[in-house]
Structure 1
């Protein structure tokens, strides 16, 4: 065909509407031939399942099947090097989207387990079609596209500005039907939203990974991931020994958000990554100890304004080599590590999130692992539909909006952080960030308005409680650099020194029943941080030969628990300040400040081992109400046994807490004293009875009671 005929003569066979090669003669400004009228039939149009492929400007749609008066099609589009796939439901010839687009580097002809599982789940939840049938269809589609990719893929210039930043330009919430949006908003309006999140992270297929327990770790990480969606950024390191669930926790939580997962990351990879605008979270699966000194991870915090990558390029005009700088935008970073000690600069920018490695947690996980067959049978029989809550939670997050968060009680937080520790300057910001992220997550339950056309959100006393209850242990680990391994090892080190006069790698290894390298790393950490030091005189005194180091106490440092300071907040005052702030700054608001919070409690009878109890702000458990056990005591003149029983009950109901402003030498505590102080350092308030119940599996009741009395006599407890 001549060029003239190609442009204007339509007496010949019409151009193919597959847009594969014949459209190359069309004028750039004329796209009239992109889609031909229906009457111009073209036998070369590919057919799938006896129906013609429907072509889009950027892709195509393939028929799946008719079901309940609807037709279901699978669509694939390619934009800026990424493939986007989505189901469409046709009812009365009208297309309906019912889930967000899924993006991937490859199309449907390349297997991607995570994407395909999501597609199966979306359609199954929407239409009730069997998952096996949907999976078989996707396999058939993959083969068909692989054999016909050239004729299916349009050759179309995608340089328009509208297509730039595809995911960022597309509001995920616009793809959710209005009826579904209302359901998702109701989820976000739940006062016990944390309980729903807990269930969503647990009620998942055994093959997909699930989280049981890990209350503080999963909620703190999720708060920071929600913040990443709405403009804030953090660095999060899940830290602990090998094989205790760090990666699983990171996988399941980050799966709720737009995440780029990589095995490692270099400055060059950061510079040339063309999909960073499509994600909120950068997830490096494992970081080795020596890698924490790399600048590309260290400089991804908000304080640094991002990462500046430098590469050498050749100037085509001068022929000289020049250094080109590229600023990479700040992203929330998530990683895991088994390292004992992190690079100080990196650690100071971090949320160090310790993972629960207790025997109780191991037991919970083992019990769940040995239920996998039972769960799989329930899924096959249709008795349970895993991931429903997880998917709904993920979709609900797309409805969250950005706000400027106002904190009415900022000045009250000044006393929490020790001024003697310079790290408190940066770590105090972490507490503020958790408060803001909690408010953003619960935004449908907070006071919202506009001030000078700026959308604002008022943080509640509940958000402060969330930050303390759930983030307190993480802030403690961040401020001190301690994780659970270090906290548990320090008293053991002091105990060995008290018994032998010194501690060495060999003696600590024997006591901890760990490797010599592990013991050496522990001792090295505490030496670097001033808790112990190597003493040559002690080595000579005990006649120790060779290169072995021996350590003794410095006396210069002692471990003080940050949570003790946090626990002394006047919650009624915080709540009153919130109410007054709203009255003064947003006088037309009808918002009512609530008086309840849902506190997590481990419960072995619950499927996910955690329940969230509604707790009023004035309750004993919340630490505000002062127990008046000595008042209104009923006496009985005729029954001395009743008197004894009542006396025991009164004593058991007595609230016990660590005294304020008392100096305790943590180096010389007994095992029971350490256990009692550790329990009292948690957010939950204890009576003598609850303290005995908590510790009686490890110590005798008589010993616990006697120790409490002795500690009260020393002024340590009140």
Structure 2
């Protein structure tokens, strides 16, 4: 790093106004989000910020945010993006598959690509994304007409590495795509809807729109402009504790390690250095475990997301009470939930064997009974206490009301 870069980096550090030396950076983000009007858990915006740091790595962490229409997917994503400088990502709306092929001029290298709603992508689009995410670059040959007839022409290469943030209403993507992401669900509970409703009454939070945004922008630039080498002293022990019964875990492990490294870099002002590399602490793993422990388990089907558990438990309870199959309408009434959401969640529950539909077929009134498969509750990402033998130092601090 030359003298000019050192000076610029020093300016970024000053502009953090002490945030870079705070031991609870993600908790500061949580507090700033909640006091700015964000209702409910802030795990998704926190994950967006932390994952964006990995764009500087050779294998960035990509995240897909799932939930029904109007459930707050885009709001959660945008809330996280607000704390990133605009140079950290490239946002597109309604991008077509072919548009991705011509994205070389967008200079996506070491950035996060933002695509709103995965449903708008066709099979070709997903194929291009797979190549870009897996190989770190996208190449494509097309056919053009010349005076001598059709001829092959190679389009400018879209250079990576690139990470991806995407939203979708689908409970599950194609298996080839699902494994390339960390999948997180927005909270779709009635309690969360109530919290969101009540947030409109907090004029003070709405007025406090800027908060620590500038400081988080400066912190991101400070981390991005510096060395990226991180040593994880407990890497081998962590690998020993990963389950070997899920082939997909081989794709998830690099994501976990990248996020640990990103969290350590975020707190590098408080971390020891070893041979010029930042040394990750147990607190870095504890923070990552809290953010993605459930997401990894859901991705491996070791646990089931709450909105699917809800319909499974409803079918079980109603079947035990009535002694017969129940309809979609009856489940929706029992839960006092919108039928379209209940229908989608029941379809997923049936597909995974937790619920059985005894009257399948289009146009028929479906008849649901408990399935043959029990809801799993397995640990995938080991708890910090299990990894370290003793509790890791508390990574949380209360900054205000929950």
Cα distance in 1, alignment partners of residues 65 and 6 from structure 2: 31
Are the aligned partners of 2:66 and 2:169 in contact in 1 as well (CA < 8 Å)? yes
1:457 to 267, 278, 283: 278
Cα distance in 1, alignment partners of residues 164 and 106 from structure 2: 15
Cα distance in 1, alignment partners of residues 124 and 384 from structure 2: 35
Q: TM-score scaled to structure 2, two decimals?
A: 0.82
Does residue 231 of structure 2 align to residue 409 of structure 1? no
Alpha-carbon deviations, 1:454-500, whole Å to 9, x = none?
x4222211111011122212223332284331132222233334343
Cα distance in 2, alignment partners of residues 529 and 293 from structure 1: 27
The equivalent residue for 1:18 is none
Does residue 187 of structure 2 align to residue 356 of structure 1? yes
User: What does 1:86-97 align with in structure 2 at a 5 Å threshold?
Assistant: none
Cα distance in 2, alignment partners of residues 534 and 186 from structure 1: 57
Does residue 264 of structure 2 align to residue 439 of structure 1? yes
Are the aligned partners of 1:240 and 1:483 in contact in 2 as well (CA < 8 Å)? no
Cα distance in 2, alignment partners of residues 370 and 501 from structure 1: 44
User: What does 1:174-573 align with in structure 2 at a 5 Å threshold?
Assistant: 181-182=13-14, 184=16, 186-202=18-34, 204=36, 210-255=37-82, 256-257=84-85, 258-273=88-103, 274-277=105-108, 280-288=111-119, 291=122, 294-296=125-127, 298-299=129-130, 302-315=133-146, 318-322=148-152, 324=154, 326-328=156-158, 329-372=160-203, 374=204, 386-400=209-223, 401-414=226-239, 416-450=241-275, 455-480=276-301, 482-499=304-321, 500-535=323-358, 547-562=364-379, 566=383, 569-572=386-389
What SS does structure 1 have at the residue aligned with 2:396?
A: strand
What SS does structure 2 have at the residue aligned with 1:288?
A: helix
Distance 1:552 1:473, change over 3 A: same
Are the aligned partners of 1:239 and 1:483 in contact in 2 as well (CA < 8 Å)? no
Shift of 1:321: 2.7
User: What does 1:166-177 align with in structure 2 at a 5 Å threshold?
Assistant: none
Shift of 1:202: 4.4
Are the aligned partners of 1:494 and 1:553 in contact in 2 as well (CA < 8 Å)? yes
What SS does structure 1 have at the residue aligned with 2:353?
A: coil
Shift of 1:518: 3.4
Cα distance in 2, alignment partners of residues 552 and 525 from structure 1: 14
Cα distance in 2, alignment partners of residues 427 and 496 from structure 1: 37
Distance 1:308 1:301, change over 3 A: closer
What SS does structure 2 have at the residue aligned with 1:260?
A: strand
Are the aligned partners of 1:406 and 1:457 in contact in 2 as well (CA < 8 Å)? yes
Alpha-carbon deviations, 1:159-194, whole Å to 9, x = none?
xxxxxxxxxxxx988557x56633527321111222
What SS does structure 2 have at the residue aligned with 1:562?
A: coil
Are the aligned partners of 2:242 and 2:380 in contact in 1 as well (CA < 8 Å)? no
Cα distance in 2, alignment partners of residues 557 and 422 from structure 1: 22
Cα distance in 2, alignment partners of residues 172 and 247 from structure 1: 35
Cα distance in 2, alignment partners of residues 415 and 558 from structure 1: 26
What SS does structure 1 have at the residue aligned with 2:70?
A: coil
Alpha-carbon deviations, 1:625-667, whole Å to 9, x = none?
xxxxxxxxxxxxxxxxxxxxxxxxxxxxxxxxxxxxxxxxxxx
Are the aligned partners of 2:60 and 2:258 in contact in 1 as well (CA < 8 Å)? no
Are the aligned partners of 1:353 and 1:474 in contact in 2 as well (CA < 8 Å)? yes
Greater RCO (CA < 8 Å, at least 6 residues apart): 2
Cα distance in 1, alignment partners of residues 171 and 330 from structure 2: 19
Cα distance in 2, alignment partners of residues 196 and 462 from structure 1: 15
Distance 1:191 1:294, change over 3 A: same
Are the aligned partners of 1:532 and 1:551 in contact in 2 as well (CA < 8 Å)? yes
Q: Which protein is richer in helix relative to its size?
A: 2
Cα distance in 2, alignment partners of residues 337 and 345 from structure 1: 16
Question: Over aligned residues, Cα RMSD in angstroms?
Answer: 3.6
Are the aligned partners of 1:405 and 1:459 in contact in 2 as well (CA < 8 Å)? yes
Shift of 1:361: 3.7
Shift of 1:228: 1.5
Are the aligned partners of 2:271 and 2:280 in contact in 1 as well (CA < 8 Å)? yes
Q: TM-score scaled to structure 1, two decimals?
A: 0.48
Are the aligned partners of 1:310 and 1:325 in contact in 2 as well (CA < 8 Å)? yes
Cα distance in 2, alignment partners of residues 175 and 414 from structure 1: 38
- Which of the two has higher C-alpha Rg? 1
Are the aligned partners of 1:236 and 1:335 in contact in 2 as well (CA < 8 Å)? yes
Unaligned runs of 5+ in 1: 1-170, 205-209, 576-594, 611-718
Cα distance in 1, alignment partners of residues 219 and 44 from structure 2: 21
Distance 1:309 1:498, change over 3 A: farther
Distance 1:173 1:498, change over 3 A: farther
Unaligned runs of 5+ in 2: none
Are the aligned partners of 1:406 and 1:456 in contact in 2 as well (CA < 8 Å)? yes
Are the aligned partners of 1:289 and 1:342 in contact in 2 as well (CA < 8 Å)? no
Distance 1:341 1:278, change over 3 A: closer
What SS does structure 2 have at the residue aligned with 1:420?
A: coil
Cα distance in 1, alignment partners of residues 22 and 102 from structure 2: 42
